[in-house]
Amino acid sequence: MWRDRPWVVGLGAAGAVALGVGAALSPMGDWLANRQANQAPTTGLAEVAAARIHQETPSPEAKDPKAAKVPPLTELAESASPLTRSGARYVLATEALSVKDHATALKWLENADDPVLLAPVLALRAKAQLQGGDRAGASQTWQTLLKQFPQDPATAEALYGLGQQDPKWLDRLVAADSPWKSHPRAIAVAKQRLAQTPDRPDWFLYLLRHAPDARDVGNYLGPLESQFATAITPADWATIGRIYWDRRQYAKAGDAYAKATPSPLHAYRAGRGAQLGGKRPEAIARYRRLIQQFPQAPEAAFGMTRLARLVPPAEGLALLDRALANPTHAPRALLERVRILKNQQQPATADRDRLFKTFSNSDAAGDLRWQLAEEAATTSPQAARQWAIALVQQNPEHEDAPRASFWAGQWAAQLGDQAAAQAAYRHTLQQYPESYYAWRSAVKLGLPVGDFTTIRSGQPTLQPPPPRAPLPAGSPTLQALYQLEQDRAAFDYWQTEFQNRNQPTFAEQYTDGTLRLGNGDYLAGLFALANLRWREEPGDREQFAAARRDLNYWRRLYPRPYWDAIAAGARAQNLNSALVLGLIRQESHFERDIRSIANAVGLMQVLPSTGEWVANKIGFKDYTLENPPDNIKLGTWFLDYTHREYDNNSLLAVAAYNAGPGNVNRWVKQFGTADLDRFVEQIPFSETRGYVENVLGNYWNYLRLYNPETQAILQPFQADSKPQNSP
């Protein structure tokens, strides 16, 4: 249901109109096509990336005389391969500049002459010259960059540098025909000019159109809407709607979409935004308008199923009858009919049977199967198991399929069929290896991967990721910068190359999410990558299926920023580092400055009152919750505290970290702890239930992706991972 899902939560990248950037025949379009057609692929950089990793984190194999030696960067800087040599020299130069050693940087940039990296090398040389006070030399290098690479993304650095002396260069950077309008340097100029002329809409609109995914774009929407509403075009309103949608400000999103360029999607989101924002009358009116204006569009049928929940049952059933004419949405319409009829205490057998018979493989059929399995669980494990098996067989890609596969095993065990239970656990581990239920299945199979009561004592070794695999989109220069872990430079290139912001392809969304992670924009990056599974354009599901089989995708989805501080904090409290990583990924998505509506702050979402209490306990003064090491120190102490409160039961400790010990104590008293898997399902707070599964699922993924012992244990299951029809 991609219409309801943001692909970049908290930002507006997907909805950006980017006027003047995305035209097929734009100057940047021509440049990018030529670069991609004419440049050689970025082979030859794997050695440089491996040397960089080895330099930062020497592996245990380094002491093994039989192990393959990793040549140092300085040796690779003399390579006969131009790309290898240039890559190593570029990395060494950036390292020198980071410690203000411009002379060494300039030395390394000599003979870094491979065409793929030459434009970034020139930009870096000018930076080194400027750091050394040689403005004349920097200006000469910028002029060379302009002459040799007149439309390269790196040339934006030259225009910006030259513009510090002569503003005409800045005018060129933000001109209507500029190929760099979305480059960070152009955005910086736009912000400067907005500050100089805040009484005009021009620069507000520039930032909306060319930086809709910027973290601070929300700062410009209020003044733009309140002071310059007449200057906002329908296309701009679509961008504003998407920004609010991705920030989950649904009422504002609906209002913006209602003013956007008429389209089925915009009309649907105008209604859905109002519905989610609690504006029932507006939602009803907008859904009716959608159905009237675009009666044949798939969105109209989807809108009918939404509207059916807002109107009297008789009218709702009539709407659903109309929706049944659209084969795409007929399954959802049938499911909604079953709900209405059940609430009205009317027979729904015919609709249910039609859903299972005609649309057995639909997500709606999977929804109903799991609903029926849960209803049967307390009275008939046999019936529950049959519904779960049917879901796994007929809806193997359903989001509840891992849960159903695992519980088919649990219910088989309750019925005394241990062989069937073991088969279900193996199926879950093989077919859904990234899921929380794969971990639970591994535990049931007796694998040493840590259980609820033993995670705390585990001290797994988490190895650094291997050298980066190429991105699915981007020019050879961008690819080279990314593989060299020059994340800021790669991201700046992408801001110019990414011209399809309104409707990104699968490859573009994947690339954008990955580069955002490297640029420290973890929330947006993780959601862009996670939401690839919900894309519905032709070929997207096949591309996601391929990505799902690729460990590179999962490593990108489970990154390890702030690793040194996390490892130190876990070690100090004798906590499992994979568990701490998993908790931080869930709490803050690694956003160091994030603040919740409850005023929890930072990586581990520490409340100021909790932070003060812990700090007093441990004698920690002069801390800042936004500072990662400080936040981790306080958060890991509190996670240790919740573990001590519950006898090192990580399930209860993690639940208490989210919901508080008082709630957990009440649930323990109410449900008992004899069956901890059932306890998780019975947690009455849906937020805490999801939180526990996500944190422990994250723990599992960090373990399987980065721990060699776990990878060895799972190898037999990965080798025998052919699709199966039943658990």
Mean pLDDT score, 570-592: 98
Q: Do residues 5 and 534 touch, judged by C-beta distance below 8 A? A: yes
Q: Do residues 253 and 22 touch, judged by C-beta distance below 8 A? A: no
**Considering the domain boundaries, does residue 599 fall inside one?**
yes
User: For the chain, what percent of residues have pLDDT higher than 90?
Assistant: 85
User: Is 719 a residue whose pLDDT tops 90?
Assistant: no
The span from the CA of 3 to the CA of 271, in Å, is: 12
**Considering the domain boundaries, does residue 184 fall inside one?**
no
Supply the pLDDT for residue 26: 38
Q: Which of 113, 137, 165 is the last residue of a domain?
A: 165
pLDDT band, residue 69 (cuts 50/70/90):
low
Supply the pLDDT for residue 372: 98
Domain CATH code at residue 143: 1.25.40.10
Greater confidence (542 vs 51) lies with 542
Supply the pLDDT for residue 7: 43
Segment 281-314, tens digit of pLDDT: 999 999 999 999 999 898 998 999 999 999 999 9
Mean pLDDT score, 449-462: 96
The span from the CA of 606 to the CA of 658, in Å, is: 11
Contacts of 604 (CB under 8 A, 6+ apart): 583, 584, 587, 588, 631, 632, 634, 635, 636, 638, 639
Supply the pLDDT for residue 43: 64
Domain CATH code at residue 574: 1.10.530.10
The span from the CA of 196 to the CA of 490, in Å, is: 30
SS3 456: coil
Mean pLDDT score, 433-445: 98
Segment 512-528, tens digit of pLDDT: 999 999 999 999 999 99
* Cα–Cα distance list, 462 to 122, 434, 577, 640, 709 (Å): 38, 17, 8, 20, 10
Supply the pLDDT for residue 21: 25
Q: Do residues 274 and 286 touch, judged by C-beta distance below 8 A? A: yes
User: For the chain, what percent of residues have pLDDT higher than 70?
Assistant: 91
The pTM for the full model equals 0.90
The span from the CA of 152 to the CA of 475, in Å, is: 11
Q: Do residues 505 and 199 touch, judged by C-beta distance below 8 A? A: no
**Considering the domain boundaries, does residue 535 fall inside one?**
no
Segment 17-58, tens digit of pLDDT: 222 222 222 334 443 444 443 344 456 788 898 888 777 665
Q: Greatest CA separation found in the chain?
A: 84
Supply the pLDDT for residue 25: 29
pLDDT band, residue 200 (cuts 50/70/90):
very high
Class of residue 520 by CB neighbours under 10 A (exposed 0-12, middle 13-18, buried 19+): middle
User: Is 722 a residue whose pLDDT tops 70?
Assistant: no
Supply the pLDDT for residue 23: 28
The span from the CA of 27 to the CA of 176, in Å, is: 11
Q: Which of 146, 165, 184 is the last residue of a domain?
A: 165
Return the amino acid letter for 554. Answer: W
Class of residue 27 by CB neighbours under 10 A (exposed 0-12, middle 13-18, buried 19+): middle
Return the amino acid letter for 133. Answer: G
Return the amino acid letter for 598. Answer: A
Mean pLDDT score, 326-337: 92
Q: Which of 130, 165, 200 is the last residue of a domain?
A: 165
What is the chain's mean pLDDT, rounded? 91
The span from the CA of 276 to the CA of 255, in Å, is: 12
Contacts of 717 (CB under 8 A, 6+ apart): 426, 429, 430, 433
Supply the pLDDT for residue 50: 85
**Considering the domain boundaries, does residue 355 fall inside one?**
no
The full 3-state SS of 550-566, as one line of letters, equals CHHHHHHHCCCCCHHHH
Whose CA is closest to 583, among 697, 455, 464?
A: 697
Segment 111-144, tens digit of pLDDT: 999 999 999 999 999 999 999 999 999 999 999 9
**Considering the domain boundaries, does residue 93 fall inside one?**
yes
Whose CA is closest to 635, among 558, 577, 580?
A: 580
* Cα–Cα distance list, 108 to 51, 74, 89, 98, 144 (Å): 16, 9, 5, 14, 19
Range of the domain at 85: 46-63+70-165
Segment 74-93, tens digit of pLDDT: 999 999 999 999 999 999 99
In the annotation, is 587 catalytic?
Answer: yes
Tokens encoding 689: 């239930």
Number of residues that this document lists for the chain: 727
Supply the pLDDT for residue 55: 72
pLDDT band, residue 373 (cuts 50/70/90):
very high
**Considering the domain boundaries, does residue 86 fall inside one?**
yes
The span from the CA of 302 to the CA of 288, in Å, is: 12
**Considering the domain boundaries, does residue 430 fall inside one?**
no
Segment 661-692, tens digit of pLDDT: 999 999 999 999 999 999 999 999 999 999 99
Supply the pLDDT for residue 71: 82
Annotated catalytic residue: which of 47, 299, 508, 587?
587
Going along 604-711, which residue ranges are E strands?
A: none
The span from the CA of 407 to the CA of 441, in Å, is: 10
Return the amino acid letter for 476. Answer: P
Secondary structure element (H or E) that encloses residue 593, with its range: none
User: Is 568 a residue whose pLDDT tops 70?
Assistant: yes
Q: What is the DSSP string of 66-121?
A: TSPP---HHHHTT-SSHHHHHHHHHHHHHHHHHTT-HHHHHHHHTT---TTTHHHH
Supply the pLDDT for residue 3: 59
**Considering the domain boundaries, does residue 613 fall inside one?**
yes
User: Is 463 a residue whose pLDDT tops 80?
Assistant: yes
Count of domains forming the chain: 2
